[in-house]
Chain A
Amino acid sequence: MDAPILAVDELCVAYGKVEALHHVSLTVRAGEIVTVIGPNGAGKTTLLSAIMGVLPRSSGSVAFLGVEQGDVEVERMVALGMTLVPEKRELFGDMSVEDNLLLGAFMRRRLGHRDEQQTMAEVFGIFPRLKERRGQRAGTLSGGERQMLAVGRALMAKPRLLMLDEPSLGLAPLIVREIFHVIGNLRKTGVAILLVEQNARAALRIADVGYVLETGEVAMSGSSEELEGNPRIVESYLGLGGKR
């Protein structure tokens, strides 16, 4: 079997003396959608930030594309093909949709690739709404459109691993469904996806593998069918009428 795209082993992260992640291990393979679910404050965002190199790690290792990444910088991870869509989107509000997308390809341009117009056409194919709004300032977009732009901007980097932090946050149910539909379809493009979500039902529906993170530790993991059938998961995260 190929080396996994991402292998996190016994990762610990601390904020000062408070440890936010304890010995977390997880694996993402090519073409796979892996979701990390769990309650607020479980350390999901911390996990993504530590993988991306935004936060320093206290111990444990992260291997990306089969190579262990020691003391990393964010730019280096981006150059290697890792992209994070953060919880707050972090768009460039005063710039146009098109410029936001273009900057998504910043690292590819620096590495000498000149295919951003073609990639942009692909992103417009996935999110036709962005094409209509291409000249508009990102700050004037609706919540759903902003999320589309955040995902589209990340795709402009042509990542090997796309990490999404709470893409459903603050969005209307219909939009959530649309976004998750798109995420599910991205699998076909071959990108591996690590999806962090509080909306466990939507996340498990499109994911292959799920991890449950509780107070900084992996409490449970398995295929998404297993997790969906697990009575504890049903009770804590899916609520009544878990099967729909």
Chain B
Amino acid sequence: MDIQIALLLAQDGIVNGAIYALLALALVLVFAVTRVIFIPQGEFLAFGALTLASFQAAKVPGTLWLLIGMGIAISIIELASSSRLRGGRRRLTFALGWNLAYPAVLAAIVLLAKPGDWPLVLQVVLALALVVPLGPMIYRLVYQPLASASVLVLLIVSVAVHLALVGLGLLFFGAEGSRTPAFSEASFSLGDVTITGQTLWVIGASLLLIVGLYLFFERSLWGKALRATAINRVGAQLMGISTTQAGKLCFLLAAAIGAMSGILVAPITTIYYDTGFLVGLKGFVAAIVGGMVSYPLAAAGAILVGLLESFSSFWASAFKEVIVFTLIIPVLLWRSMTTRHVEEEEE
């Protein structure tokens, strides 16, 4: 291997690593606040990318029907439960607005305004508007009724949600993959190596998202409230921080991160309905490096996973997935020897 190939592989590894880092941060966030190991994280990547691809092919993305369907389901649940709760009227109006009116407005835009002719930026915004609300909706439908269940039950439910979403993905987008045009056609040469504009887009946008998340958690009241919930759920509840709202906010962030990473990688890699799972799992390996609690370690782990993957695809491409996933074994050994076991706080 000469230096030029090494640089190419490193560039590849860092680009993929940046995406894994985003997914790993989302996984750590969701787990810390809600104790849910969010296996379907990768599906948001696929949904984001494929929804955008549908717009470009002038097709109506199936995620629109999913959004409408889940909105109707949630509305029925809210209607049934609102009679039992105090102050239900305002809450109900709010819930119906988000779950019925919002999908209806989006449906009108998608079906009537022909987003296929729009500029890329607007298509991206519309794809995010369609896919991101699915996160809090899934929380409301699936996880909120299970808020006091054990981590294992939540994990099993996550597997079920993942399988359901992959199935829906096949139904919505079909078995063939899609690619979207690059955000910029520019490319730069650094010595012998060419760096494409999209590479810089992925790395830059990922860094920006990470900095944004950092500022959100350090500076904003809701960011601090999410951290507080992760540290001490009882204490946070006594401050009036609702576990449900914290959960919905987490799922909103996770869905946003997932959909954005999908839109970022779609010009580089062909995305299939089931691509998300493998990418999400690599994010999960990175999150494990951070012990599911540390954001910086998870991000570093993600870069490590990305580099390991690209270099092993050069030397032993048949084994590249095996090598990446085997990383989990030494990491777990190292973690089990260096960290004390933390008991689950539940009674």
Contacts and interface: CB of A to CB of B under 8 A. Distances in A.
Contacts of B238: 52, 54, 74, 78, 83-84, 86, 90
B227 interface: yes
B224 A102 contact: yes
B69 interface: no
Q: Which of B86, B235, B241 has the most CB of A within 10 A?
A: B235
Nearest to A78: B240
Contact of B239 (A54, A88, A94, A157): A157
A92 B86 contact: no
A175 B158 CA distance: 48
A57 to B, nearest CB: 14
Contacts, number: 72
B4 interface: no
B6 interface: no
B190 interface: no
B231 A95 contact: yes
Main secondary structure, interface of B, reads helix
Contacts of B86: 70-72, 76
A90 B235 contact: yes
Given A71-B85, A110-B240, A99 B235 contact: no
B225 interface: yes
Q: Which of B232, B234, B236 has the most CB of A within 10 A?
A: B232
B221 interface: yes
B232 A91 contact: yes
Given A90-B234, A91-B235, A109-B221, A74 B240 contact: yes
Interface in B236-258: 236-242
B224 A74 contact: no
A73 B238 CA distance: 10
Contacts of B84: 71
Contacts of A90: 232, 234-235, 238
B232 A86 contact: no
Interface residues of B, number: 20
Contact of B242 (A72, A75, A88, A104): A75
Nearest to A83: B238
Nearest to A73: B242
A99 B234 contact: no
A91 B236 CA distance: 9
A166 B241 CA distance: 23
B230 to A, nearest CB: 9
A79 interface: yes
A107 B224 contact: no
A95 B228 CA distance: 8
A130 B225 CA distance: 21
Contact of A103 (B85, B87, B225, B242): B225
Contact of A74 (B225, B227, B231, B237): B237
A106 interface: yes
Contacts of B239: 78, 103-104, 106-107, 153, 157
Contact of A92 (B85, B87, B231): B231
Interface in B23-45: none
Contacts of B221: 102, 106, 109
A93 interface: yes
Contacts of A102: 221, 224
Nearest to B241: A106
B240 A79 contact: yes
A109 B86 CA distance: 22
Nearest to A94: B231
Given A70-B86, A71-B84, A106 B231 contact: no
A73 B84 CA distance: 12
Contacts of B224: 95, 99, 102-103
Given A79-B240, A95-B231, 17 more contacts: A52-B238, A54-B237, A54-B238, A71-B86, A74-B238, A75-B240, A78-B240, A83-B238, A92-B236, A94-B231, A95-B228, A102-B221, A102-B224, A103-B225, A106-B225, A106-B239, A109-B221
Interface of A: 52, 54, 70-76, 78-79, 83-84, 86, 88-95, 99, 102-104, 106-107, 109-110, 153, 157
23 contacts: A54-B238, A71-B84, A72-B86, A73-B242, A74-B237, A74-B238, A76-B86, A79-B240, A86-B238, A89-B235, A90-B234, A91-B235, A94-B231, A95-B224, A95-B227, A95-B228, A99-B224, A102-B221, A103-B225, A106-B240, A107-B239, A110-B240, A153-B239
5 A-B pairs with least C-beta separation: A90-B235, A78-B240, A107-B240, A92-B228, A92-B231
